[in-house]
């Protein structure tokens, strides 16, 4: 069996509603699954630890904006990729110059 879990933003917390069972509050986004399983446990659902949960988070995008996810900037992946490309280009130039002189 599976349960639909709807997490909606409520101020600084998340309201976690397990359809047909009950609801509770989570302090942060990462706690929604644990809180949903606690709701199932409190309502004597036998397989609360392994039951399938379908998470719906309509306010997730809003939460990302509030947490300040950077929109621009040079991240580690771009930096490493740029350095690798630079090394390859410099190596190719050195190889060609070496063949031309040798």
Q: pLDDT of 50-96, one tens digit each?
A: 999 999 888 776 555 555 555 556 567 788 888 999 999 999 999 99
Kindly report the number of other CB atoms within 10 A of residue 92's CB atom: 10
Q: State how far the Cα of 82 lies from the Cα of 91, in Å rounded to an integer.
A: 14
Enter the DSSP assignment of 31.
Answer: G
Q: State how far the Cα of 18 lies from the Cα of 54, in Å rounded to an integer.
A: 10
**Per-residue pLDDT band at 43 (split at 50, 70, 90):** very high
Kindly report the number of other CB atoms within 10 A of residue 14's CB atom: 24
Confidence at residue 62, expressed as pLDDT on a 0 to 100 scale: 55
Report helix, strand or coil for 20: coil
Kindly report the number of other CB atoms within 10 A of residue 26's CB atom: 19
Whether the Cβ atoms of residue 9 and residue 63 lie closer than 8 Å to each other: yes
Q: State how far the Cα of 70 lies from the Cα of 88, in Å rounded to an integer.
A: 30
Q: State pTM to two decimals.
A: 0.58
What are the residue ranges spanned by the domains of the chain?
1-69, 71-102
pLDDT digits (tens, 9 = 90+) for 25-40: 999 988 999 999 999 9
* Of 66 and 42, more confident: 42
| The pLDDT of residue 20 is above 80 | yes
Q: Mean of the pLDDT values across residues 6-30?
A: 92
């Amino acid at each position: 069996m599976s349960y639909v879990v709807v997490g909606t933003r409520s101020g600084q917390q998340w309201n976690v509603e397990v359809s047909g069972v009950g609801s509770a509050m989570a302090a942060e986004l990462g706690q929604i699954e644990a809180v949903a399983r606690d709701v199932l446990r409190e309502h004597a659902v036998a397989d609360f630890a392994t039951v399938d949960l379908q998470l719906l988070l309509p306010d997730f995008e809003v939460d990302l904006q509030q947490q300040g996810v950077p929109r621009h900037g040079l991240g580690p992946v771009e930096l490493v990729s740029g350095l690798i490309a630079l090394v390859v280009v410099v190596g190719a130039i050195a190889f060609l110059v070496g063949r031309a002189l040798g």
